[in-house]
Amino acid sequence: MSCQLPDDCLYEIFEYLDYDRKTFYSLLLVNRFYCKISIEILWRNIWRDIWYNRFKITYEQFLRVSSSILSTLFACFPQESKNLLFKNKVFISTPTSKPPLFNYPSFCKTLPIDEICQIIRIGLEKSPIY
């Protein structure tokens, strides 16, 4: 006989793992439900994570991670927004032509404008948009 915890109990348990990124990356592979909860928790304050860990990784890694996050978020934009950016000569590549599995922006619970501006500024300095 198998025993399964209710979804809200699992969510509470996962909440305690907030800073244990390695465990979350493992949970992504268990099943769709674990993946959804893990993504939700990993993305809720993605800017904090990248900004405060910027000194623990190389500058190139920081740029790559920042660029990946921005590209993933851009992939979630409606087509109208993408067209507007393209029209204004803002070219952001998307990780794939397929639509994202999750609505990542909906999981972002904080929007620290200063950190986001810094990340974008650093990214533009490295590879300016013409």
pLDDT tens digits, residue range 102-116?
999 899 887 778 777
pLDDT tens digits, residue range 79-128?
898 888 888 877 777 766 778 889 998 998 877 787 777 767 766 666 54
Does residue 130 have a pLDDT over 50?
A: no
pLDDT tens digits, residue range 1-57?
456 778 888 888 888 887 677 888 888 898 888 899 888 888 888 877 776 676 777
pTM for the model: 0.72
Domain boundaries, the chain: 1-43, 45-130
DSSP string for 9-75 = HHHHHHHTTTT-HHHHHHHTTT-HHHHHHHHHHHHTTHHHHHHHTTTTS-HHHHHHHHHHHHHHHHH
Query: What's the sign of the alpha-carbon dihedral 55, 61, 62, 68?
Result: negative
